[in-house]
């Protein structure tokens, strides 16, 4: 993209991203596609990387973290099969982009991020853009946010080595949890559904997320 690209050019890039990288790659849920056509992904990446915001890759957002690639955001969101009235938990706010996508498709979103400065920055951006059904918490989300649960759906965007049982506990009966599990390059995306208190597990695709880590990283520490 050239310098001085106007705002409207991003909407063209965004439509192309959805057509080629999301729909073209097999995510066909219309509500997900519409949400991703709407959310200004370039505002969730560092200013110097805006020209790459609609490329099909993850991008650095500081603190050694990344905004997920568009396809994975679309796929995870579609796997949740949201109908519009769910209370959703996202673990790993990062840039806030996926929280914004989820906010279009659910009644309310609680998103938790362990790197406090990222949580603060995302909360501010989501607020400025008017996503008023999203609440961001700065905390270790590996144990969920029990005080705001139970949840109809949970999306985990950092990779644990095994299913964090407390997240499954905070899922309502009939609810859906989507998360990567694994280590390093060996990660698989899974969907868990809670039926009669038991987990019904489906394997989705190989994926690559940052690891889920313990503890809160405060604003005055180096992440
Ligand atoms: N959904 C994000 C993707 C961010 S990458 C987006 O749309 O941009 C994953 C994020 O998970 C990172 O910001 C990382 O700091 C965070 N994370 C890792 N372990 C965590 C934990 N235990 N609790 C909360 N957040 C965690």
As beta bridge partners, residue 12 has none
What is the rounded average pLDDT for all residues in the chain?
A: 95
Determine the pLDDT at residue 219: 82
Ligand 1 centroid distance, CA of 210 (Å): 7
User: Does the pLDDT of residue 5 top 60, yes or no?
Assistant: no
Determine the pLDDT at residue 8: 54
Structural domain contains residue 136: yes
Structural domain contains residue 35: no
Structural domain contains residue 122: yes
User: Does the pLDDT of residue 220 top 90, yes or no?
Assistant: no
CB-based burial, 112-145: b 16+ in 10 Å, e otherwise: bbbbbbbbebbbebbeebebebbebbbbbbbbbb
Structural domain contains residue 216: no
Record the tokens describing residue 27, joined without a space: 């995510």
Ligand 1 centroid distance, CA of 127 (Å): 19
Task: Give nearest CA residue, ligand 1 atom 19.
Answer: 212
**CATH number of the structural domain spanning residue 76:** 3.40.50.150
Mean of pLDDT values over 98-117: 98
Look-up of token digits 């982009």: 97
Residue 42, Ramachandran bin (φ over 0: left; ψ between -120 and 50: alpha; else beta): alpha
User: Does the pLDDT of residue 19 top 60, yes or no?
Assistant: yes
Structural domain contains residue 96: yes
pTM: 0.95
Q: Which range marks the domain in which residue 180 is found?
A: 57-206
Number of domains in the chain: 1
Q: What is the pLDDT of residues 131-178, one digit of tens each?
A: 999 999 999 999 999 999 999 999 999 999 999 999 999 999 999 999
What residues are labeled active site?
68
* Residue 221: band (very low, low, confident or very high) from pLDDT cuts 50, 70, 90: low
Task: Give nearest CA residue, ligand 1 atom 17.
Answer: 92
Determine the pLDDT at residue 102: 98
């Amino acid at each position: 993209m050239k310098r001085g690209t106007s705002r409207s050019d991003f909407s063209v890039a965004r439509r192309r991203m959805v057509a080629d990288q999301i729909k073209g790659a097999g995510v066909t849920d219309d509500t997900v596609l519409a949400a991703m056509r709407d959310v200004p992904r370039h505002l969730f990446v560092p200013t110097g990387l805006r020209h790459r915001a609609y490329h099909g890759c993850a991008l650095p957002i500081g603190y050694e973290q990344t905004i997920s690639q568009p396809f994975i955001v679309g796929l995870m969101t579609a796997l949740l099969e949201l109908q519009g009235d769910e209370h959703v938990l996202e673990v790993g706010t990062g840039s806030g982009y996926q929280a914004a996508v989820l906010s279009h498709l659910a009644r309310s979103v609680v998103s938790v991020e362990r790197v406090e400065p990222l949580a603060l920055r995302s909360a501010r951006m989501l607020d400025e853009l008017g996503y008023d059904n999203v609440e961001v918490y700065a905390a270790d989300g590996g144990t969920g946010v029990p005080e705001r649960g139970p949840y109809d759906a949970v999306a985990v965007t950092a990779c644990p080595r095994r299913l964090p049982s407390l997240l499954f506990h905070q899922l309502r009966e009939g609810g859906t949890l989507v998360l990567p599990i694994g280590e390093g390059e060996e990660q698989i995306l899974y969907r868990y559904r809670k039926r009669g208190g038991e987990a019904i597990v489906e394997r989705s695709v190989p994926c690559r997320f940052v690891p889920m880590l313990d503890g809160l990283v405060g604003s005055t520490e180096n992440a």
